[in-house]
């Protein structure tokens, strides 16, 4: 029997797809256990099939929609396409394979059945939203499409079925929004083209807001939008809802790999391999009429932590209007006047959700014709101050335990508590020239810039900037990171600027409507004054006040809830926390913040004082041992005084002093006047000094004549430093007999046990003589930095001569990877873009490579000296994920910069609780 061949290409495509799907189904039937084949894996779940525990598979949004469905809240019933489908999309070359496409269509049919509407049907259309939803909250980083399923035929049928002119306006409003959003998100046509058309229409009609445009205006706009689409893309806007849906799902998967999402993931330690889920749900319309609206709310104030319902609401609007700051919303409390029944139900839902999740909730909702619908809930982003208060309050309310309170705070956010605030006296004397909403606390001052690119460029040349925008969008993320603070004309407490700034801990003032902005010419007017790019400005993210000029800042003070959380953290952590400090001031600040000792004192930093550098340069340029010793004798009393001050600041807590580490060329003069002064002091010619300086040049100084190698060639340097350490310890011990001063002398850059033995013998001979001459009973320790891979692999041999190990992960990372930390920035971006690395190995410890070396060294060292203490003192000592690794491999302490001590304390506690 013969069949006529179809001529239409689309029909051919459908036939081929059907045949391919039939083959897939036939293949499925050959397996009794579906898990044995990729196509048998379930990639789609109705909301009614999931729960909050399925976060990894359904993403945070999907899991919470499922959980809200499970507890009986009014959620429009749709389905979630899993994170595994996203992973599969990338494995299949950024394509949704036919099997997953077929499964999606099965669930579209289920959604149609539940909702009693038909997707793509002109008479009874089902319109949907398509939203991203990674397992970790990434506000504003990925994409959403609303009102999907509209086309000319559906629009006309909907209007024909409802003669109300307001309904016609609603339909065309929804249609133009969909065209704009689909064009922007799915087809990557810049939204600026459509915004210009909207502005032209408003100007033509003499109105201020979108809401003032009529149905006829919006209909005309929709036609203009489609014409713009064709102009930009070269083909007509797609009218087939199935095509629209498939393209939208691809766009959400694609958005997982967009630049702003990649930046956010790197900053927040979110692996690329996680992927994002896609949530498809029936539309509910806040823009239906004046009896409808949309809002965002928090069960507690995300800026202060106060226990009160806080949020914003817009009538006759869709969710994007609130988040994008297109219109300035009203406080959530005013919703009660507009929709009393829906507000009453919403308040009940808020209480139920916070009680259910035992945390402050961030919710998105819509009211359609007076009926409430919940579109999202999640644990809300909050400032560090709010996080501490909320955690303490939840413990006091018997909702969570102390351990849970410790676990719910992101250690990285504590950083924002420790940054400067405005000087109180200067602030009192200053007069605000304007006021917006205090969207993210803190103080920021700097020079005005108007674009994200300018913020990045100005920061790179050393300028502090405040980014001033009409409103921010996700594309501004790099500029927001580069800025000291963010100021926007539009938007509320839940706008993009506010939410992202709070998450980053960046000061933000939003919604200052008094600003007359001229972004194109890079200027704005406020309080009768015109401000241009580069003018100084100060903003207060707590009060929302805006000031002309620069207001001085002071260090933040910490008390109250911070102390309670830190107390709980100290109660449960196992790791000790020390600090990297070279001055008494830094040491005292670290102790105030909870440091339990110094894990790294870099003695070379002490040599750059003007009085000392001259003597040290004399030592470098000396010809004999006697000349070098004479120069070092000038430095020794200063070194001793330095160490005494550190011991005094630490009040008997451990102090680890690293002996001279950098190559000598770092200390020699480069200015002609300094060279001449050194020549005169040495009694040498300028030419001779220049020859000495040239001879110190090394092709790879980081792997050159430095660290313990300096002591091997110039033992007198280590002898001087040992005398200074021991004499200082004896002097302070005499002044404070109740303190237990135990100097820890750390030898850097050891790669061979014999190398360490040589230096150790020099140190011990000198130290023992000093102690004997003083008639003191001082105990001291000699250990080493493990920062060369060979040292880690031969740690058992090195432990014969070392009483402690401290892992210098900056150099260990550098030498393990084989690239310079100073130059890696030139190419690491390409590594991130190509998914070779997901994070900077100098910021976050490489646990597979560098971590394996550390683990090996710990085990080998403990085999020889079970009692030896071990720590880490690189930049990784303040990184939460690296601290957890240190806990797991059995280190005794981490050491970090003073202002990261609280972060380390909290991260150490979380590691102990998590791995109990």
For helices 192-205 and 215-233, give the axis angle rounded to 10 degrees. 150
CA 292 to chain centre: 36
Q: Are 692 and 620 in contact (CB under 8 A)?
A: yes
Q: Are 4 and 63 in contact (CB under 8 A)?
A: no
- CA 312, CA 671: separation in Å to the nearest integer? 61
Beta bridge partners of 851: none
In 775-895, which ranges are continuous DSSP H helix?
789-793, 795-798, 809-817, 825-833, 850-864, 880-889
Residues with Cβ within 8 Å of residue 735, at least 6 apart in sequence: none
- CA 669, CA 682: separation in Å to the nearest integer? 14
Rg (CA), the chain: 33
- 3 state SS for 105-117: HHHHHHHHHHHCC
873 catalytic residue (yes or no) = yes
| Token duo for residue 738 | 């109740």
896 catalytic residue (yes or no) = no
Beta bridge partners of 376: 364
- CA 109, CA 114: separation in Å to the nearest integer? 9
Burial group, residue 53, by CB count within 10 angstroms (0-12, 13-18, 19+): exposed
Q: Are 755 and 768 in contact (CB under 8 A)?
A: no
- CA 383, CA 381: separation in Å to the nearest integer? 7
Task: State whether residue 556 is helix, strand or coil.
Answer: coil
| Percent composition of the chain: helix, strand, coil (DSSP 3-state, to 5) | 50, 15, 30
- CA 491, CA 513: separation in Å to the nearest integer? 9
Q: Which long-range contacts (CB under 8 A, 24 or more apart) does 17-23 make?
A: 17/98, 20/98, 21/98, 21/99, 21/102
- CA 811, CA 379: separation in Å to the nearest integer? 39
| Token duo for residue 234 | 């070269």
Among 86, 350, 445, 496, the active-site one is: 496
Nearest to 911 by CA among 411, 388, 505, 503: 411
Among 392, 873, 886, 896, the active-site one is: 873
Residues in the chain: 916
CA dihedral 706, 710, 711, 714 (to 10 degrees): -170
| Token duo for residue 95 | 């394509």
In 621-699, which ranges are continuous DSSP H helix?
625-650, 672-682, 686-695
Active site positions, annotated: 496, 873
């Amino acid at each position: 029997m013969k069949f006529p061949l179809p001529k239409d290409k689309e029909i051919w495509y459908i036939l081929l797809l059907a045949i391919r799907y039939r083959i897939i189904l036939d293949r499925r039937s050959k397996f009794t256990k579906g898990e044995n084949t990729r196509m048998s894996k379930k990639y789609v779940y109705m909301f009614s099939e999931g729960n909050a525990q399925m976060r990894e598979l359904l993403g945070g949004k999907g899991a919470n929609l499922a959980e809200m469905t499970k507890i009986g809240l009014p959620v429009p019933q749709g389905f979630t396409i899993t994170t595994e489908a996203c992973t599969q999309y990338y494995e299949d070359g950024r394509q949704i394979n036919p099997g997953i496409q077929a499964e999606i269509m099965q669930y579209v049919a289920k959604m149609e059945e539940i909702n009693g509407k038909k997707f793509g049907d002109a008479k009874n259309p089902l319109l949907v939203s398509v939203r991203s939803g990674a397992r970790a909250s990434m506000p504003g980083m990925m994409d959403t499409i609303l009102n999907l399923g509209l086309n000319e035929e559906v629009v006309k049928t909907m209007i024909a079925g409802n003669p109300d002119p307001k309904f016609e306006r609603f339909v065309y409003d929804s249609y133009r929004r969909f065209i704009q959003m689909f064009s922007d998100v799915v087809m990557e046509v810049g939204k600026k083209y459509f915004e210009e058309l909207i502005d032209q229409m408003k100007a033509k009609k003499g109105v201020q807001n979108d809401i003032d445009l009529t149905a006829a205006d919006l209909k005309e706009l929709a036609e203009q939008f489609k014409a713009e689409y064709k102009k930009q893309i070269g083909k007509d806007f797609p009218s087939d809802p199935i095509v629209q849906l498939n393209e939208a799902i691809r766009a959400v998967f694609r958005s997982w790999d967009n630049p702003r999402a990649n930046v956010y993931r790197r900053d927040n330690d979110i692996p690329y391999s996680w992927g994002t889920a896609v949530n498809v749900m029936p539309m509910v319309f806040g823009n239906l009429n004046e009896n409808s609206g949309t809002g965002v709310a928090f069960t507690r104030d995300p800026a202060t932590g106060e226990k009160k319902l806080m949020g914003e609401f817009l009538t006759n609007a869709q969710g994007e209007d609130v988040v994008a700051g297109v219109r300035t919303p009203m406080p959530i409390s005013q919703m009660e006047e507009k929709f009393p029944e829906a507000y009453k139900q919403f308040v009940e839902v808020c209480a139920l959700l916070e009680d259910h999740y035992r945390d402050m909730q961030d919710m998105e909702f819509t009211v359609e014709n007076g009926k409430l619908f919940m579109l999202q809930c999640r644990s809300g982003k909050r400032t560090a101050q709010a996080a501490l208060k909320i955690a303490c309050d939840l413990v006091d309310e018997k909702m969570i335990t102390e351990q849970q309170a410790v676990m719910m705070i992101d250690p990285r956010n504590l950083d924002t508590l420790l940054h400067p605030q405005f000087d109180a006296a200067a602030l009192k004397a200053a007069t605000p020239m304007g006021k917006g909403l205090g969207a993210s606390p803190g103080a920021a001052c700097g020079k005005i810039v108007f674009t994200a690119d300018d913020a990045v460029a100005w920061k790179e040349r050393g300028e502090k900037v405040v980014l001033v925008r009409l409103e921010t969008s996700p594309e501004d993320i790099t500029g927001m990171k580069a800025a000291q603070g963010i100021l926007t004309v539009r938007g509320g407490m839940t706008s993009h600027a506010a939410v992202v700034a709070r998450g980053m801990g960046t000061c933000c003032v939003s919604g200052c409507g008094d600003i007359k902005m001229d972004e194109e010419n890079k200027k704005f007017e406020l309080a009768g004054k015109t401000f241009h790019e580069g003018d100084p400005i100060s903003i207060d993210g707590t009060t929302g006040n805006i000031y002309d000029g620069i207001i001085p800042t002071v260090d933040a003070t910490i008390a109250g809830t911070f102390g309670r959380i830190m107390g709980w953290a100290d109660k449960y952590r196992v790791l000790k926390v020390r600090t990297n400090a070279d001055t008494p001031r830094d040491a005292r600040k670290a102790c105030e913040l909870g440091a339990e000792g110094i894990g790294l004192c870099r003695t070379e930093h002490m040599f750059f004082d003007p009085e000392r550098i001259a003597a040290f340069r004399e030592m470098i340029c000396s010809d004999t041992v006697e000349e070098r010793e004479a120069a070092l004798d000038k430095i020794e009393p200063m070194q001793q005084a330095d160490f005494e001050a550190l011991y005094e600041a630490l009040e008997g807590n451990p102090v680890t002093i690293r002996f001279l580490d950098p190559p000598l060329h770092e200390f020699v003069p480069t200015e002609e006047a300094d060279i001449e002064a050194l020549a005169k002091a040495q009694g040498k010619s300028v030419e001779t000094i220049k020859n000495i300086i040239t001879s110190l040049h090394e092709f790879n100084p980081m792997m050159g004549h430095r660290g313990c190698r300096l002591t091997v060639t110039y033992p007198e340097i280590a002898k001087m430093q040992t005398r200074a350490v021991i004499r200082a310890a004896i002097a302070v011990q005499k002044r404070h007999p109740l303190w237990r001063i135990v100097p820890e002398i750390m030898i850097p850059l050891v790669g061979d046990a014999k190398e360490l033995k040589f230096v150790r013998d020099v140190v011990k001979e000198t130290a023992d003589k000093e102690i004997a001459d003083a008639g003191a009973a001082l105990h001291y320790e000699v250990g080493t930095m493990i920062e060369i891979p060979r040292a880690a692999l031969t740690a058992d041999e090195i432990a014969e001569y070392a009483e402690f190990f401290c892992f210098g992960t900056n150099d260990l990372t550098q030498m393990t990877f084989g690239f310079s930390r100073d130059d890696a920035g030139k190419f690491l971006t390409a590594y991130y873009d190509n998914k070779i690395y997901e994070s900077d190995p100098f910021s976050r410890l490489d646990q597979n490579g560098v971590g394996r070396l550390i683990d090996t060294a710990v085990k080998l060292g403990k085999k020889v000296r079970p009692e030896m203490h071990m720590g880490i003192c690189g930049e990784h000592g303040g990184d939460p994920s690296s601290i957890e690794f240190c806990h797991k491999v059995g280190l005794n302490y981490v050491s970090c910069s003073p202002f990261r001590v609280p972060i380390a304390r909290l991260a150490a506690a979380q590691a102990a609780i998590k791995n109990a």
